Every structure is written in structure tokens, then in C-alpha cells.
Amino acid sequence: MDILLRQVTIIDSSSPFHQQKADIFIQQGKIVEITESVDRSADKIIDIPGLHISMGWVDVFAQIPDPGYEFKETLESGANAAASGGFTDVFLTPDSSPVVHNKSGIEYIKQRSKSLPVNFHPIGAVTKSLDEKELAEMYDMHQNGAIAFGDGFKSIQSSGILLKALQYVKAVDKCIIQLPDDKSIQPNGLMNEGIQSTRTGLPGRPSLAEELMVVRDIEILKYTGSRLHITGITSKKSIELIKAAKKEGLNVTCSVTPYHLYFIDNDLANYDTNLKVNPPLRSREDKDALIEAVLDGTVDFIASHHMPQHADAKIIEFEYAKDGMIGLQTSFAAVYTAIPKLSPDKIVNLFSYNARKYFDLPIFKIEKDAEACLTLFHLDQQWIFESSLNYSKSSNSAFFGRPLLSKPLGIINKGSLFLNE
């Protein structure tokens, strides 16, 4: 397909066209011309005032439970949701059925995603069946394309297992991705422990459960000298701990979810089960600390924590509802709505460049003869995420019906175009 982009603002600090408006002609997946005005015919001409483009975006933590739970999400529906949200690359957690804990699980995802508009990168499980009894076949998974290792939404509780895993991945220069959550602290908590949990009568879960795990993981990282990514950070104290670890020179990165930047625990006053997530929504003070950490660079990436759930798991009493919400399509819009002072350069670093550099993914310059791996987005287009726009097979989103201040418009990847129209 030949694609012509008219007067797009290019956001790529390594490109000579950075922050300039230009026409871009793409042929068979390659950028063949970038000039002030391109005079060519094309199969698709995109001429949208205010359109920005950047190198393709990366989501470092999303659950698409195919195989096993295709009624929640398939790789095909997940790819369409990701493309609609502006993502060309998505890291998939291993908690499918069977668990992605051997090379066949890695190969299944890699082979199935070849024909999809998005590149899926499997995260290999650290332990077999996620049961923390025995290390999984990590070297075989690495050889077959695992992007990193972690037990997905199940935090690694055993210090000994985490120690061994960090030592193991050091030999192949890979990373452990950990969701910090000490399950032994108030395991029956349903929301953040605080004033709002008292008002609603719901059992609280303190941020201490996260912070103790962050302390432990950083100490084990210090001992092993390996690489650790901590995802789903929610508390002010956790941010302070990670900032201090970075100052020590430890190879640690962190990510936050869009919904922890947008919502707080007070938003649970009406018991909206779509806001039942793990880690839980925290206080306004915590949210403000997360926003500041995004702006000052402590937070390295945005992670959607996309977690589809069937309606039966959400349209139920709050106590029995399952955790999680979908988020691939709303990640960018939610983050920019929560932090409208984010510059285009900062957005691209958070959603693309930082993750590509840290996880050794290809970095595509926007220049002549380069491969076209692009995200299209608008910084000043208000819209509302309606159910009719949802590409996921599940509908557990708290963003339906909410006005958002920016919009992902699609991607150009693998020689094809996915455009929200």
C-alpha cells in the first residue's frame, strides 16, 4: 500500500525533520520521500490538521490471555485494540492457559502475530505454571524470542526465586519484570486502605504491601547486579525508593498505569467494579506524586496493564468482581488528559523511545529509506471513548463516556495502515 501523509508534525529527536511539518510518502513499508510537499499519487492520503507522527509506540505490560481464555480476548482482537491505541509493539504477560513457560508458548505468540498489524513480544514466565516452585525454561524461551521474564500479574513472592531469576537473566542480558505486591499483607483487601475504604466499608489494602516489595526487590537487585523493571507503581513512597535506587546506579526502571494517573480511591464511592484493579487506586497525594515522577523522568514507561474480563466477572458485587480493566485504546488519551503539560517529546519518550532502548527493540528514525514503523496521534482532539469504538472482546473499562483531551489515530506498521476514522 502506498500512503501519503500530508503536513504532519514529526516528533523524532534523531531526525533532521524533528518538530517540522512535512509530507511523507510511504511505499511498501518504506519511507521514500519526506519533503515540504510531495507530488505523488497514493492508495491512501491522510490529511488531518494537527496530526503528529512518531516512531511506533510500545506497551510493556498487557494481558491477552490467548490461548485458553479467548472469550476475554484473542490475539486478533488485542492487536486491533493495540493498533487503535497507537501501539505497534506490545509485551504480553505469560498468564494464559497454558502458561507461557516454555519455548512452545513463545513460538505460538510469535507465529500467530506475524500476520497481525502489531508486533507481540511474549514475556516468559519465571516459574513453571506461575506456582513459584521451580524456575521455568528461561534459556529456551530467550532463544526463541522472549523479550523479558516475569510472572505477569502474579508477583514473585519468594525472595529465593527472584534472586535465582535475576542471576539467571544476567547471563543473557535480559530483564525481570515485577509487579510489586506482598500478598501476605491484607490479602483480602479490596481497595486502598484509607478514608475512602472506611466510608465505603470495603476492606483496605495498604500501600505498604507494595513498598515492602519494592524495598526487597531493590536489595536483591543490588546483590545480583542484574536488570529489574518494576511495573504498576502506585505510591509516593515507592517512587522515592526507586529514585534513590537509580541514584545509586542500579539498573532499575519503573512504569505506571494510565488509570493510576487518572483516578484515585475516592472514585470508588459508587462501587464501580471497573475500578477494581490491582494494585488498587491510591490517594490524591499518591497520584500527584506519580504525575510529578512522570514529569521529572523517574517513571521510564507507561504500561497499560490491559486486563480483559468477561462481563460476568465485573457485573457482580464488588467483593466478588475480578481485578483489572482494558486499556490499550485509552492509554495515551488518559495519560495526556491527566497530564496535559506533557510535551510531544516527553510523550514519545514515555511511549516509545525509552522502552525500545531499554529492551533492545529496533529504533526507527523518521528519515528517507527508513522502515515505516509509525504512530499517528493528535494532541488537541477531544473525544469520548464509546462502546461502539471498542475493539477488545471485553468491555471492562472505566473510561467509557468520559471526555478525553487527545486521541491516538492509528499506526503504520508492517507495510499496512490501521486508522481510526
Mean pLDDT of the chain: 97
The predicted-structure confidence for 132-143, as pLDDT tens digits, reads as follows 999 999 999 999
CATH 2.30.40.10 in the chain, residue ranges: 2-52+367-419
Query: CA 205, CA 207: separation in Å to the nearest integer?
Result: 7
Q: Is the entire prediction scored with pTM above 0.85?
A: yes
**What would the CATH number be for the domain defined by 56-358?**
3.20.20.140
Is the distance from CB of 216 to CB of 238 less than 8 angstroms?
A: no
Distance between CA atoms of residues 64 and 83, nearest Å: 14
Residue 174, phi then psi, degrees to nearest 5: -110, 180
Whether 77 shows a pLDDT value over 90: the answer reads yes
Residue pLDDT, tens place only, 361-395: 999 999 999 999 999 999 999 999 999 999 999 99
Cell 499506526 found at? 411
Do you find a cis peptide bond into 98, omega within 30 degrees of 0? yes
Whether residue 94 has a cis bond before it, omega within 30° of 0: no
Q: What pLDDT score does 54 carry?
A: 98
Residues of the chain with CATH 3.20.20.140: 56-358
Average pLDDT, integer, range 99-113: 96
pLDDT value for 85: 98
Going 103 to 120 to 329 to 156, the CA torsion angle's sign is positive
Indicate if the pLDDT at residue 60 is higher than 80.
Answer: yes
Distance CA 158, CA 151 (A): 12
**Following DSSP, what letter does each residue of 332-392 receive, concatenated?**
HHHHHHH-TT--HHHHHIIIIIHHHHHTT-----SSTT-B--EEEEESS--EE--GGG--S
Helix (H, G, I), strand (E, B) or coil at 215: helix
> Quick one: cell of 277?
484493579
Q: Average pLDDT of 154-162?
A: 97
Per DSSP, the three-state class of 137 is coil
CA atoms within 13 A on the CB side of 60: 35
Q: What is the pLDDT of residues 320-350, one digit of tens each?
A: 999 999 999 999 999 999 999 999 999 999 9
Q: Is the CB of residue 165 less than 8 Å from the CB of residue 135? A: yes
Which whole number is the average pLDDT over 299-320? 97
227's grid cell = 536488570
Phi, psi angles (nearest 5°) of residue 328 = -60, -40
Residue 270 CB burial class (10 angstroms; 0-12, 13-18, ≥19): exposed
Topology at the third CATH level for domain 2-52+367-419:
Urease, subunit C; domain 1 (2.30.40)
- Going by C-beta distance under 8 Å and a sequence separation of 6 or more, which residues neighbour residue 44? 1, 2, 3, 4, 417, 419
Residues 6+ apart with CB under 8 A from 30: 369, 370, 371, 372
CA distances from 184 to 205, 206, 218 (A): 11, 12, 19
Q: Is 135 helix (H, G, I), strand (E, B) or coil?
A: strand
Between CA 259 and CA 184 the distance in angstroms is: 25
- The percentage of residues in the chain with a pLDDT greater than 90, rounded to a whole number, is 100
Query: Does the pLDDT value for residue 304 go beyond 90?
Result: yes
Q: Are 40 and 25 in contact (CB under 8 A)?
A: yes
What's the mean pLDDT in 48-69? Answer: 97
- The string of pLDDT tens digits covering residues 218-276 is 999 999 999 999 999 999 999 999 999 999 999 999 999 999 999 999 999 999 999 99
How confident is the model at residue 421, as a pLDDT? 76
Helix, coil or strand: residue 51: strand
| Mean local confidence (pLDDT), 266-287 | 97
CA distances from 391 to 59, 88, 116, 288, 318 (A): 17, 15, 14, 31, 25
pLDDT-above-70 percentage for the chain: 100
N-to-C CA span, the chain: 18
